[in-house]
Amino acid sequence: MVIWTNGCFDILHRGHVELFQYANSLGDSLIVGLDTDERVRDKKGESRPVNRLEDRSYIISALECVDAVVSFGCDRELADHIQRLQPDIMVVGSDWRGKKVVGSEYAGEVRFFDRIGDYSTTNILERS
């Protein structure tokens, strides 16, 4: 079974790793989609991303629970990746519950992952 998740994953933290481990436990292959630097900047502001796409991709690819990483710069590219892969399960954060999840029509099912504690890149940046 192919599993898909995506996001910025700018500053990798425990919540991200637990999401990847959970997603990986659902199937045989975990594919992670990463927002390009330009897309992160558009969504999160000029000070983001902290880590460039090349670095984020390298770090996430190095995780044992991740099988492949792809990037996308717009919703159409994101949907195209998901349509091409036809994942059995798409794992998204529970903050997307009740909202339009790009590409979900190409996945066998969508599962929501609850945030772990107060781990978030925004919280990490606000504390520093």
pLDDT per residue over 67-94, tens digit each?
999 999 999 999 999 999 999 999 999 9
Starting at the edge strand found earlier in the chain, the sheet holding 29-35 runs 68-72, 29-35, 2-7, 89-93, 109-113
pLDDT of residue 31 exceeding 80, the answer is yes
The pTM score is 0.92
Tokens of 62: 């190095």
pLDDT of residue 60 exceeding 70, the answer is yes
pLDDT of residue 40 exceeding 70, the answer is yes
Q: Measured on CA atoms in the order 44, 13, 54, 74, is the torsion positive or negative?
A: negative
Helix (H) or strand (E) segment spanning residue 32: strand 29-35
Tokens of 101: 């999840």
Neighbours of 24 (CB within 10 A): 20
Q: Phi first, then psi: give them for residue 37, nearest 5 degrees.
A: -60, -40
